[in-house]
Amino acid sequence: MATEIIMPKAGMDMEEGTVIKWLKNVGETVETGEPLLEILTDKVNMEVEAEVSGTLIDIRANEGDVLPVFTVIGYIGEAGEKAPSGEATPSMEVKEVETIEETVKEEKATSNSSIPVGKVRATPAARKIAKDRNLLVEDIPGSGPFGRVQKVDVEEFDIIKATPLATKMAEVENIDLSTIKGTGVGGKITKDDLSLAPTEATGQKKVLAPSKAKEKASNIIPMVGLRKIIAQRMKESLEKSAPVTLQTEVDMTHINALRAKLKPIIQEEIDKKITVTDLLIMATSKALMKYPIVNSTLVEEGIRVNDYVNMGIAVGLENGLLVPVIKGTNKMTLKEIVSSRTDIVKRTLSSKITPDELSGSTFTISNLGMYDTISFNSIINQPNSAILSVGVTVKRMRIINDAPQIREVMNMSITLDHRVMDGLVGAQFLQYLKDLLEDPNLLLL
């Protein structure tokens, strides 16, 4: 019997995923644990692995399709076996659970309401929006399990759906998308649907030249996937917070000497390479425990002062930025920090990180020193209340005990949410962190 391949629920908040690319073709054999396809969640790209060995006998979801979690997107079976007929749908077990849950929700939502439930399945939110817009849910195609009409279906009803590339090609070729019938998921118009579309200028059908269309759109980078998510969250952060940035200069001579001394020892004991970031994590965690308001989170009830440190580390990728989280750094030894940071950064760069490992931070460090950036101001990583920005360490002439000396100097800044804390507290935190880095002996206290 064929085994379902489903869109996984890779995090507590994940509701849907996008198929990026299939790593196997129909007819190819697969082994348990072997990557089948790559998907994009709301936070990260990740691979979906085969749960059983066999042959990939069917693919139900195309690249670019956005589907709810638990949707069946393919089948693994024996060579020559036929997959069950039909399109991508939620697995049977999930259907049964969702049917029960939705029935209970609708009964509660409509017990004191005049909105008729009827035969068409729809969420309470979808019914309310439809009523406010004088729409009938019976007229709206549902994208949920069993064709259930969801909030997004009502909001996007009567809106022409098209892929970013199809939209751009239509604009270039003067094609009216309202005249096109989409063949993609949910009736979405794809570039292939435009191949014989009538142009606005002539009214005649025209076969698009793929090369021409690609040439005209080659300088357009679609705001999709991770780039779109980053854009939304950066904008939201600036809208939600009142950012203030404080800067200081740190003498890194002693901390770098300590790193050089510990490097061979840690390399021998755990086979990992200690970096400046590791020492920054340790020092920053200590400073956050002394000034916990900097480590706080603004919630509906007020300011939640965290008594632990979950350190977010900004990691740059080719297509954007991710912030994996090392949890409980305030209780870690230096070796544990080095090991955890090495592992989580490595898995982030290789797209092996899980969505849950990208959430729960209480503070974030962004280090661009390796790119010779002298100083910069970061945007606060919500729901944190502050973020530390670290620049490159360079040699500078400084006056020490009335005598000129060449020292290793680094610029460091903290951007804080002025709604949560005053600049004075931020300055005190930054001063203490500077003291820890300039005199590493203080880390032992």
Of the residues 13, 139, 307, 418, only one is catalytic, namely 418
Is 414 exposed, middle or buried, given 0-12, 13-18 or 19+ CB atoms closer than 10 A? buried
Say which residues have a Cβ less than 8 Å from residue 115's Cβ, sequence separation at least 6. 127, 128, 131
**Catalytic annotation on 42?**
no
Residue 61, number of CB atoms within 10 A of its CB: 23
418 is catalytic: yes
Of 4, 50, 6, give the one whose Cα is nearest residue 31.
Answer: 50
Q: Respond yes or no on whether the N-terminal peptide bond of residue 383 is cis (omega within 30° of 0).
A: yes
Instruction: List all residues 6 or more positions away from 353 whose beta carbon is below 8 Å from its beta carbon.
Output: 44, 46, 322, 324, 344, 347
Strands 386-400 and 363-367: parallel
Q: Catalytic: which of 139, 422, 435, 439?
A: 422
Instruction: Name residue 365's amino acid.
Output: I
- Crossing angle of helices 276-290 and 334-349, in 10° steps, is 120
Known catalytic residues?
418, 422
